[in-house]
Structure 1
Amino acid sequence: MLWVKAFHIVFVASWFAGLFYLPRIYVNLAMVPPGSVAERERLLLMSRKLLRFTTLLAVPAVGLGLWLWLQWWWGATGWLHAKLVLVLVTIGYHWVCARMLRRIEAGQSMRSHVWYRWFNELPVLLLTVVVILVVVKPF
């Protein structure tokens, strides 16, 4: 079980690294001057590749987490339920990032770089709360 837990942590950390950086590319995309087609295309390519890679990391992170949860679900306390809710929020955040990329590629609804900077902070908060829940088990 410790191997499963170790690999779960590695994949979660890697998944979150992608979630930390992907919206950062959106910040840069929002700052691209209107005539800079090459710069925009380069950032879009980076975004697509990072999203694909981040999704590939999320699958084993969630799968291994499910494996761990199935071992403990009968004795689960409140902290684990709260963590599972935050995992669903993180999956939703990942989905929103993918949806944003599709809209940016289509030239729809480009938000300001300031908005993307704030949006970029959400995974930091999610990871912080999840780690506190897992380590401290406050309830």
Structure 2
Amino acid sequence: MVGFLGATYDWVKAAHVIFVIFWMAGLFMLPRYLVYHQEGLSDAADAARWVERENKLRAIILTPAMIVVWVLGVALALNAGLVDGVPGLGWLHAKLAIVLLLSGYHGWAVGYAKKLARGQAGVSNKALRMMNEIPALATALIVILVIVKPF
């Protein structure tokens, strides 16, 4: 596929995949951090260490990677003809919907980390552990959509 990206297409695609890996690594880590942070709320020193870890993860890996994923992903989607009415891109629409939901999950997790930093827990440890699986399920669906292109 050439499109407006021309010879840079493969490089943009490679960078997109690399930053997806970084973002997913962060999304696998942050919910686990939230579980440990919530379990350690009774120990102020332990809770403070989790706040610091979560802030570093968010500032160094999680949010920057998500931004790059979106910028490169939008470029790739436009290159594929997403807004030009190119047929056969149903899989891409579904992928973008899942990525949008995953971005919302990212926002929720960051918000919950800030809530925990204030000492306010609102979700059970069991629910946090179950929500830890959301990025894995989303990733599996996205990979299937991109590779198989079922519609």
* TM-score, reference length from structure 2: 0.87
Which of 64, 67, 80 aligns to 1:56? It is: 64
Aligned to 1:94: 106
- Partner SS for 1:19: helix
| 2:27 counterpart of 1:15 | no
Alpha-carbon contact 1:30-1:111 (below 8 Å) kept: no
- Does 2:41 correspond to 1:41? no
Residue 125 of structure 1 corresponds to which residue in structure 2?
A: 137
Superposition CA RMSD, Å: 1.2
Q: Unaligned regions of 5+ residues in structure 2, if any?
A: 1-8
Bigger Cα Rg: 2
Q: Kindly provide the amino acid, as one letter, of the partner of residue 70 in structure 2.
A: V
Of 6-15 and 101-110, deviating more is 101-110
Percent of pairs with identical residues:
38
**When the two structures are aligned, how many residues end up with a matched partner?**
138
Q: Does 1:26 align with 2:34?
A: yes
TM-score, normalised with respect to structure 1: 0.94
Distance 1:33 1:59 in 2: 31
CA–CA distance in structure 2, aligned partners of residues 33 and 11 of structure 1: 32
Gaps of 5+ in 1: none
* Partner Cα distance (2:64, 2:125) in 1: 27
Deviation (angstroms), 1:110: 3.6
